[in-house]
Amino acid sequence: MPKKVKYTGAKHYNERQIEQLLEISKDNPLEIVIKLTLFYGLRRSEVLGLRWKSVDFENKTLAINHTVVTIGKNTHMRDQTKNDSSFTVFPIPNEIILELERWKCKQEELKLLQPNDYQDEGYICTKHNGELISPNFVSQHFKVLLKRNGMPHIRFHDLRHSSASYLKALGFDLKDIQVWLRHKDIQTTLNLYTHLDMEAKTGIADSLDARFKSFQNQAKC
């Protein structure tokens, strides 16, 4: 069998674009999905696999131990992650606690409004009828959201890279990002870090180019 070609077109949003995305996703069906994905740098399968029993409100922790994936035309729920390093327990800060509590109350309201139709399977990322949001719906609707609001196209998975970009902008180093994103080996993080460094170098190069150009114009005068 031929080797699977590795996707090399990964993109990411910068700090300003991330904040813009959070703004345009308010009251959108993917609002909670996007916010949790960006904050924790989750994979699509992981954010959709989050269940309320994975949230410990008292101790403020969130367990990543369940995933939702699409194989063919079927959606599968399973108590496993991509690899052993992906299984973890995250702390939940106050802002995310408030967001989760708000969404839980919203689900309870929707459940009361649809006593006979609401599907309660214990998942966090659900549609208004309680039905689990499918992986394909996330990818398709995310694309529509970006296009409708005139934002550059990126894959939903690229939000994971965007999370790394945001962490780097906040001053966290290579090891910190590896731990937060749960990369199995440092090389994966290093490859991403190199891409981010190139973006920074491009910005420096453009600034120098503009400066040198002004020098040349002065010299001609």
Sequence length of the chain is: 221
pLDDT given for residue 3 in this prediction: 46
Can you tell me the distance from the alpha carbon of 69 to that of 46, in angstroms, rounded to the nearest whole number?
Answer: 9
CATH number, residue 22: 1.10.443.10
**Contact (Cβ atoms closer than 8 angstroms) between residue 30 and residue 141:** yes
For residue 107, being part of any structural domain is answered with yes
Helices marked H in 25-63 — which ranges?
31-40, 44-48
pLDDT given for residue 123 in this prediction: 96
146 or 209, which is more confident? 146
pLDDT class for 88, splitting at 50, 70, 90? confident
Token reading at 86: 């992906």
Q: What percent of the chain lies above the pLDDT cut of 90?
A: 54
For residue 71, being part of any structural domain is answered with yes
pTM across the whole model: 0.79
Q: Which helix (H) or strand (E) holds 77?
A: strand 74-78
Count of the separate structural domains present in the chain: 1
For residue 183, being part of any structural domain is answered with no
**Contact (Cβ atoms closer than 8 angstroms) between residue 92 and residue 58:** no
pLDDT given for residue 4 in this prediction: 44
Structural domain for 112, as ranges: 15-174
Q: What percent of the chain lies above the pLDDT cut of 70?
A: 78
For residue 156, being part of any structural domain is answered with yes
Can you tell me the distance from the alpha carbon of 109 to that of 119, in angstroms, rounded to the nearest whole number?
Answer: 13
